[in-house]
Amino acid sequence: MIDGYQRATVHLGPDPEGVDGQAIATFVRKNPDKLSFVERVRRKLRHRVFGKPLAIMYLHGWNDYFYRRHASEYWESLGIAFYAVDLRRYGRSYRAGETAGYIEDLHDYAAELDALRDQIVREMGDDVHILAIGHSEGGLIMSLWVNREQPHHVRALALNSPWLELQGNTMFRLITTPVLKGFLLAGGKTPLPLNDPGFYGRTIERDSGGEWDYPSSLAATGAQFQPRAGWMQAIFRGQAEVAAGLDIQVPVLVCTSDRSMLQGSWDEAMRECDVVLDVVAIRQAALKLGDLVTVARIRGGIHDLTMSRPEARRHYFGLVTSWGGQTAWRTFLPTPLVRSALGRL
């Protein structure tokens, strides 16, 4: 566990893929007793002066879990409570014997997200204003959840390189669907021959020229992630819902890198672009999320914009902070305070 943080194991009910037939999720937050004096004061002042506490609800992507302490610390330094969830069969929720990351319907994750939203409301009060943030696959899941559930207290949705569409465009997904159905004939857990060249890890990990030494999901939990036919079908179905048009009722912000590099050989330029998803396809699909969608490009950003090089990640955090203040929280965040927090990223 991250030093100074707490986790809660949540039993979500029957799940045939879970150990003992049960679904388990994990909520993570900074221990309130470990907040600095200044952070505690800022939380209280925001509630007393503006009449509402502020919170972030964060969801990770594929082959991932919550470990980005620098992101949590940034929001907490502004007096905004940060909560994250490790989905069933991911990260701290993974149990030996489970099929890591496997799901056959992305809407099933509503159980985790509903439960986390309820936990935030219990702890912070019914007047809490929540900004939901989803990264990559988590951005797709969050979009489907906010669209269908219209969760009260969630006032805006910010997506970090969301997996709204396959590389290329909708036509590419439609063309590959018959191929996927062939793998499904052998069962939903049939592995797909999708090899990861390791370029994304190379852009992040300190040992290979990146800036971070956070442990991978495999190193932290032993979970071996393998794309499988049933999981990919769930992704296709979710993306098809987006392509057909969602009706998200709250403001949406979609941030991506300014470019992608999807190729079979390493290039040092990959350290400043998305090497996982097609950002053009994402931006095109984003317009189908709702009536009020803002699309932003982060120059020099990588797939997880929060882990980009300093200039790009500060640009991303600053943009989300400004936009969230106007939409989710409708609260003025003092410029000197934000600049100081950005300077520590």
Q: Whose structure tokens read 């949540």?
A: 10
Instruction: Judge whether residue 29 has pLDDT over 60.
Output: yes
Domain boundaries, the chain: 5-343
So what's the pLDDT on residue 72? Answer: 95
Structurally, at CATH architecture level, domain 5-343 sits in: 3-Layer(aba) Sandwich (3.40)
* Section 79-92 average pLDDT: 95
User: 3-state class of 136 per DSSP?
Assistant: coil
Instruction: Judge whether residue 230 has pLDDT over 70.
Output: yes
In this structure, are residues 87 and 93 in contact, taking their beta carbons and an 8 Å threshold? yes
So what's the pLDDT on residue 90? Answer: 96
In this structure, are residues 305 and 162 in contact, taking their beta carbons and an 8 Å threshold? no
User: Full-prediction pTM beyond 0.85?
Assistant: yes
Instruction: Judge whether residue 89 has pLDDT over 90.
Output: yes
Count of residues in the chain = 345
Q: How far is the C-alpha of 120 from the C-alpha of 236, rounded, in Å?
A: 31
Which residues have C-beta within 8 Å of that of residue 276, sequence separation ≥ 6? 136, 161, 200, 303
So what's the pLDDT on residue 60? Answer: 97
Q: Which has the higher per-residue pLDDT, 273 or 168? A: 273
pLDDT-based confidence at residue 183 (cuts at 50, 70, 90): confident
* Section 143-148 average pLDDT: 98
Q: How far is the C-alpha of 239 from the C-alpha of 257, rounded, in Å?
A: 20
